[in-house]
Amino acid sequence: MTTIMDRFGPLIGLWRGPIVLQDGRKGIAEFSFCPHFEGNLIELVALSIDAETGESQAWGMAHLALDRAGRTVWRQFNQRIGFATLNEVDDDPGVLSASGSLSAGRQMMISIRQDGDELAVTVSSGMPDGPKTVSRMRRASRTLRERP
């Protein structure tokens, strides 16, 4: 049976790089992807740090797993948007794109493109043509052990 690790195993590890949040603030992004339950779950812990003060400016978590049809389900929390469930949408091979509904008719869309040791992330959570959170990170560590 295909697992989420079979599809997105190269994401596992710690990534860091500059980020511009949807509201225009700039910072340093840190994304860590960690596998659980024999590769059936990937947990993402995401943090954005103010580059000047070192303070946390945005944070969140997500669980990625495959549904029975083999499509990625993305359940996430971040402190600004709150909770949302996103479902995979078609994209280029190796690119994880997912979208879902938020309150008040808004849509959330996330796209993660990994190319070797580079990771590009785009997140929108309003109108499709509105501002987006954008980050381009580099791999800081290749593996993370399973954590509780």
CB of 131 to another protein, least distance (A): 18
Residue 62 sits in the site that holds another protein (CB under 8 A): yes
Q: Which is nearer to another protein, 92 or 105 (CB)?
A: 105
End-to-end CA distance of the chain: 25
Find the helix or strand (DSSP H, E) in which 6 lies.
helix 4-8
Q: Write each residue from 65 to 104 as x if it is in contact with another protein (CB under 8 A), else as -, in one continuous string.
A: x-xx----xxxxx-xxxxx-x-----------------x-
Contact status: 110 vs another protein (CB under 8 A): no
Tell me 21's DSSP state.
Answer: -
Closest separation in Å from C-beta 127 to another protein: 19
Q: Kindly tell me which of 50 and 77 has the beta carbon lying closer to another protein.
A: 77
- Would you list the DSSP string of 31-81? EEEEEETTTTEEEEEEEEE-TTT--EEEEEEEEEEE-TTS-EEEEEEETTT
- Measured in residues, the chain has a length of 148
From the list 50, 51, 63, 109, which residue makes contact with another protein (rule: CB under 8 A)?
A: 63
CB of 129 to another protein, least distance (A): 23
Is residue 136 part of the contact set for another protein (CB under 8 A)?
A: no
CB–CB of 73/88 below 8 Å?
Answer: yes
